[in-house]
Amino acid sequence: MDSHDDTGITWGMGPHRLDGDPAVTYPLDEREIPPEPAVDALSDALDAGATVSPSMAEPDDSGHSTNQIPWSDAEFLPWLEPYLDERMVPPSNARYSTRFIAALGVAARLHASQARKGTTIPYVAHLLGACAIALEFGADEDEAIAALLHDMIEDVEPTEAARAAVAAFGPRVTAIVDACTDSDAHPKPPWRARKEAYLASIGRDDRSALLVSASDKLHNARAIVADLRRYGDALWARFNPEAGRTGHLWYYRELVRCYRANPEHAGELVEELARVVAEMEQLATGR
């Protein structure tokens, strides 16, 4: 798609890659801002509103329901291209690249209809929170992008489109997101079985996967602690009924144990999680 402004410059949407620097195919003239790219079929579908599949509406341990998006890969992938327009390229001294900007847009779009369970808080708040924690504990750009996308394969349908979105950011991001996914099956397997399998996988994770995983869990744990102060035991009704208070306390204790057992774990991050989990247990049990 090309358009022209009165400077005579052709503004084209050339080939781009999300797993590296975008391939720039035209100059950026700061005198003029080119027209917005046309909204394609995927953007139209998003604007019309994503739907939550009844079979996927069961909350999980992070306190949200899953999001079903009826798009094909052919509709989805072209939507990424406007985010890689030269107008979106950060300045040369930026702390992040166009890929990170694209990941923000993808995360916001594909989780657009989700909210934190039992609240009206957009689910993207959790993704931003997990990303912020990861960055604060030293994440590089791939790890930060993976933090933004860490729930996509698990919670966005169709799964094939979600996987394609993650894969567009390259194999390292994909590997981290896969490690953070406890199941891509729909409907999900039983809660306890999923959590036991996830805990077992932590021992095989590398440093990057551990960083993103623990950032995710720390943000969730902080939210649980804040809501325990506000709502008390009524909080647990939000979550998967298979788990309840006892299951969640077990799971977070085991997360800390499993992270500590992997020598690749981020020490300060895991110790912060341990402190928050101890506070969670104290508030939940009175001990």
**Does residue 179 register a pLDDT over 90?**
yes
Q: Is the pLDDT of residue 199 over 80?
A: yes
pLDDT of residue 51: 34
Stretch (H or E) spanning 68: strand 67-68
End-to-end distance of the chain based on CA atoms, in angstroms?
63
pLDDT for 97: 84
Where residue 5 falls among pLDDT bands split at 50, 70, 90? Answer: very low
* pLDDT at 1 > cutoff 50: no
Calculate Rg over the CA atoms of the chain.
20
Q: What is the pLDDT of residues 122-164, one digit of tens each?
A: 999 999 999 999 999 999 999 999 999 999 999 888 888 889 9
The mean pLDDT of 67-76, rounded to a whole number, is 48
pLDDT at 89: 62
Residue 253 in contact with residue 281, Cβ under 8 Å? Answer: yes
Query: Are 250 and 236 within 8 A, CB to CB?
Result: no
Express each pLDDT in 22-32 by its tens digit. Answer: 332 223 333 22
**Per-residue pLDDT for 44 more than 60?**
no
pLDDT at 237: 86
Domains and CATH numbers, the chain: 46-285 (1.10.3210.10)
The residue behind tokens 């902080």 is 222
Q: Which pTM value belongs to this model?
A: 0.72
Rounded to an integer, the average pLDDT of 76-86 is 57
The count of other CB atoms within 10 Å of the CB of residue 184 is: 17
And the tokens for 266? 């981020």
Q: Which of 63-67, 88-92, 200-204, 217-221 shows the lowest mean pLDDT across its residues?
A: 63-67
What is residue 10's three-state secondary structure?
strand
What torsion, rounded to 10 degrees, do the Cα atoms 137, 133, 43, 173 define?
Answer: 40
Residue 60, pLDDT above cutoff 70 = no
Q: List, for residues 10-23, the tens digit of each pLDDT value.
A: 222 223 334 443 33
> What tens digit of pLDDT does each residue of 87-127 get?
556 677 788 888 898 899 899 888 888 888 777 889 999 99
